[in-house]
Amino acid sequence: MGKGFTLEINPFVYMAKFKDDGTWQEIYSERPHKSKEEEDALSEQDREEWLEKRNSFPELPLVNYTTQYGFGCFEGLKAFPQKNGDLRIFRPDENGKRMETSMKGLMMPPFPVDKFIKAVKQVIKRNRDIGFVPAYDPDWEKDDYLSGHSIYIRPFTYTEPGIGLNLSLKPWVVVVSTPVGAYFAPGNNKAVTTDRVRATPGGTGWIKCDSNYVIPTLVKKMAMKEGYMEAIFLDAMERKYVEEGSSCNIFFLLKDDTLVTPNLEDTILPGITRKSVLQLARDKGLKTEERRITIEEVLSETKESFVSGTASGVTYIESITHNGKTAEFSGRKMGEFTNYFLKTLKGIHYGAVEDKYGWMTGVD
């Protein structure tokens, strides 16, 4: 399996449709597949044909408010193989709460958190039971699980048919899963600010909605062409306060050992990894602040910086360039505290560090 996301959707998929009586009609759909071993032995062309069949959803309407206007929201979470053979999911309750909030923000019927958790667990369990699960590899321990594989879980909404601007009153909620590796490629951890705007006050920046990811994708690809790993957004109004990375929350450890991350205004996504890092920092005795921070303060006062998210985990930033001025952090290497957050979170994910917070949820 390659790095990052793949389109190797696992066979069991969850689908729920909101009905007129206020209930959700739920099914677990088993898509076309062979055994995992048989699929792994297929030629590349044959494998692509099987995956194309599995990734086809003819029961969902092509022309609707999601495909036409980006009207929808989604979540991303992971299940991690454990040394004892178990699979455990990181904080699915928090993802369920956020998806419920996102759907309310889009004026959709909200999907209940308990149904969300059950659906996620069942999708992972059913795919595991037919062999679609990464086996724990002791070699991952050598680099503190940086090379570790996991299962990426993507719950998302999809609307009823529609061609005009309208709300979704009868959405689907779909849960798919896929194997996933490391998100960021090693060797480049440089970041650069962008003039583009991710979100405006009074908009949908606080919702994990589809349309929010168009500009970040464009900006990230532009930054990568210029030799950077990440792009950083500033606020829309004054163009001086740091808000987010291209698809991640961002942190700054200042020279006085205060860990700062932008506060959750309505332009910033409430990240679950962000919330977890703040908890780890406080328990370690670090002073934490959720507040506005200017790019000038970042450049002059930061000694460590990193981004956080489900896909990125904790990924250090070696430098930030703004208007031609570059500030370097920790000698362009991962800093002590960034390394602590990375190792601790990865350790909790894979069962190597005690989960004293109760963040990991079993599948059975």
Angle subtended at Cα 255 by Cα 254 and Cα 258, rounded to the nearest 5 degrees? 45
Q: 225 with 352: CB under 8 angstroms? A: no
208 is a catalytic site residue: yes
Task: Pick left, alpha or beta for residue 82 (phi over 0 → left; psi -120 to 50 → alpha; otherwise beta).
Answer: beta
HSE toward the beta carbon, residue 121, CA cutoff 13 A: 17
What are the Cα distances from residue 153, in Å, to 1, 9, 117, 178, 323?
A: 16, 10, 12, 7, 38
Q: Residues 78, 190, 208, 220: which is the catalytic one? A: 208
Q: 38 with 131: CB under 8 angstroms? A: no
Residue burial 185-199, b: 16+ Cβ < 10 Å; e: rest: eeeebbbbbbeebbb
Q: What is the CA radius of gyration of the chain?
A: 21
Backbone φ and ψ of 229, nearest 5°: -85, -35
- Catalytic residue set: 208
